[in-house]
Chains A and B, each alone.
Chain A
């Protein structure tokens, strides 16, 4: 089998014996982020498990709510944070997540993970990085931003292109200043402004026209609505960034997280284990086939 990405699949050793059983975690804190979106900060009930649990930027957990089911949700927290809490930024859209909304601090939630491939932070060293994301596509990239900030000298120019529907849908606005201070060029746009908005209006791919990049040493990381991803890739390829240096995080229906239940397949790949982060050259053959 050919290598799918040069990012690694990292299956959780904690699940080898019981790959389909969730482990309980306690909600330590809930941070509202935007309308219908909040971040849940979790700590495993088992201290041993809490100490062993490590994830890499871009990976996800299966988040379990008893009686309702599981949802695949990326970690949005700093993997190296001192408190080592696991952060999930959750949009309340499905059966599971709408009921997660009713939970309070101190309530329990089940977790399985971490699953899937990660953003290729080592391979990106020495590169300029363009992070292009929209809406709920920013949370899976926030751990990568934290990693870059911790290791800022290892990376070249870093540009964050981020878009949301409206100013009040922008996530993590209080952090933009810190990111700017860490020499990350934060470019924000909204589909529709309001009476106080003085920033950009338009879609994320259009932000590519606002800066120069060097295609010989730039990489693109992108996550968000599939339509946005398509046009981000279009703009990146148009600027001669090769598909081997474009990384995409895909979303699909997932039930197992381990390439067993079949739902998340795209061509030969199981998005849950071979992805969610793919190098675009691996996807190229399938990505533009309608309804594939």
Chain B
């Protein structure tokens, strides 16, 4: 230890084994520590308790409809760009009870009264943090504050990590969200060979870090982190020119290219389920056989689901697959901006990796542009 006080914005050098102590300190404070973990040859976000739970020595190779883990020969814990899951599942749960009701003479509503879990997210990438901030704009508006989201969001500890090895479907540099984490974290790691360079983002981070032993960050360590980040920005697998968005989409709602994509798209909804910003939900009711006990659940929905736009007595607004893909893309990179002041895309590339037929929005946008200019 050294006696310089930890301050927000300052950086220290943390020996890698100390991350165990940091996670233990977070658990002692009541957090459930969740992070990347190898499972079934993929990476999922689950409970992690020690360094040994993290995917050491792996990187992910991602391309259209393709995700592969490979061994790097390095001993790093955070090289692997994550898989299909995002942190969204911890803040906006895929399935949660809104309330239940039971009937004697009258109906009575019962609230779900167990306290929301407090999660410490271990290894949040810059694009993922940007996605959380986008969902904040959706769920924490002045005219609508979602109680489920708010409780979970307020309780978060965010341990961010800078991306040094972007993969083939990454384009965060184009979207201005990464690879470097800018704000909104409690602690932020940059992983070097033997140490983490740790930046302190909040008092919560400062207090958690005070449980660990660390050294002052040397110029060499700082330089190595900066070099790594500069290299990472050059290593994006994909690019997207956003200069003419959202107008390009809004002005070309009847372009022929929508038909071409509609023919390839399966309307499987994968892109919306892996997207860290997609927020659509449905409500589902359950009732017992005697009709005296019911519950109402909120579940993730998708604009690709056939019943998404169905109105009782009014038919389906978007019966064709083409119209659903158009809705998704014009929302993400078009109308989202008017609704929430930002694009609904952070450039994480999940929708490209996990589309079973390899539809790639970084190719669809240029194709629409080409048609518009012809």
Contact = CB atoms under 8 A, between A and B. Distances in A.
Note whether A and B form a binding pair: yes
Interface of A: 1-2, 9, 11, 16-22, 24, 45, 66-71, 91, 93-97, 108, 110, 136, 225-226, 251-253, 255-256, 258-263, 265, 267-268, 270, 273, 285-286, 289-292
Nearest to A91: B313
B250 interface: yes
A21 B109 contact: yes
B278 to A, nearest CB: 8
A291 B146 contact: no
B356 interface: no
Interface of B: 98-99, 101, 103, 106-107, 109, 111, 138-139, 141, 143-147, 250, 253-254, 279-287, 291, 294, 296, 298, 301, 303, 308-314, 317-320, 322-323, 326-327, 330-331, 335, 338-339, 341
B309 A253 contact: yes
Contacts, number: 131
Nearest to A258: B144
Contacts of B139: 260
B307 to A, nearest CB: 8
B145 A93 contact: no
Contact of A1 (B253, B309, B318, B338): B338
A261 B281 contact: yes
A292 B103 contact: no
B126 to A, nearest CB: 26
B294 A67 contact: yes
A225 B335 CA distance: 26
A20 B145 contact: no
A289 to B, nearest CB: 5
Contacts of A265: 327, 331, 335
Interface residues of chain A: helix, strand, loop or mixed (majority): loop
A4 to B, nearest CB: 10
Contact of B291 (A67, A70, A96, A110): A67
A260 B335 CA distance: 15
Given A20-B99, A93-B312, A260-B146, 4 more contacts: A97-B312, A260-B138, A273-B143, A291-B322
Contact of A263 (B99, B106, B143, B308): B308
A71 B285 CA distance: 13
A9 B143 contact: yes
Contacts of B303: 262
A263 B250 contact: no
A71 B283 CA distance: 11
B294 A66 contact: yes
Given A16-B145, A292-B323, A268 B281 contact: no
Given A19-B147, A260-B281, A253 B310 contact: yes
Q: Can you list the 7 inter-chain pairs with the closest CB atoms, starting with the nearest?
A: A94-B312, A67-B287, A93-B313, A262-B280, A291-B323, A268-B338, A268-B335
Nearest to A261: B281
A268 B338 CA distance: 6
Contacts of B341: 1
A30 to B, nearest CB: 19
Contacts of B103: 66
Contacts of B294: 66-67
Nearest to B320: A291
A95 B312 contact: yes
Contacts of A1: 338-339, 341
B106 A71 contact: no
Contacts of A262: 279-281, 301, 303
Contacts of A286: 253
A18 B285 contact: no
Nearest to B146: A260
B345 to A, nearest CB: 16
Nearest to B296: A69
